[in-house]
Amino acid sequence: MGVVDSLKWRYATKRFDSSKKISREDIEYLKEAVSLIPSSNGLQPYKVLIIEDKKLREKLREVSWGQPQITEASHLFVFCNFTEYGPEKVDSFIQLGADINNYPAESSRDYAESLKAQIGGSSASELSHWTAKQAYLALGSLITAASELNIDNCPMEGFLPQKYDEILGLKEKGMTAAVICALGYRSEEDKNRLLKKVRKPIEDLFDTI
């Protein structure tokens, strides 16, 4: 299927068939799709945790309003945005670009200093807001790629971020949970699979100026 047909096929899956697992090959494909999505200045100021451990997911379900997707899905992706972004991260990014494209990192010094000044001038709340928006861009890529593979998915904000941070030890790593996505294969018990997709008419959603 093409992208549009794939997105027409998908819906927010509420019940997953826990007996069906996503193949390792498909997981690698999804990881690559997420890694290729653009981000502000290419910095990718987030990390994605792929939760497979059943006991850990039971704990996460308790702080996700008991939603069954957390434990029934094949995999749970947790998008964690950085709450701290020091100059060393910028230096690491600049060095990576230099290594990949075979040019001296020193040639990007002015650009690096500009990024450091921009990021360093942000308040803690501004920084977290910016990095969280980048994580949501990556989520969109995951949803699209999974749908292309006929892998059901459900992006979710119905969880307690602070509790996720505690359970996953994110605060100590300068991160917080921004958004999560359950992935797997729909259950016959999921009544939502029988519903038609509800979206605004194209003419209401778009204006050409």
Place of tokens 């917080």: 176
Amino acid letter, residue 52? E
The pLDDT tens digits for 135-158 are: 999 999 999 999 999 999 999 999
Confidence band for 1, pLDDT divided at 50, 70 and 90: confident
pTM for the whole thing? 0.97
Homologous superfamily, domain 3-205: NADH Oxidase (3.40.109.10)
Q: Where are the domains of the chain?
A: 3-205
Q: Does residue 12 have a pLDDT over 90?
A: yes
The pLDDT tens digits for 62-115 are: 999 999 999 999 999 999 999 999 999 999 999 999 999 999 999 999 999 999
- Burial environment of residue 42 by CB neighbours within 10 A (0 to 12, 13 to 18, 19 or more): exposed
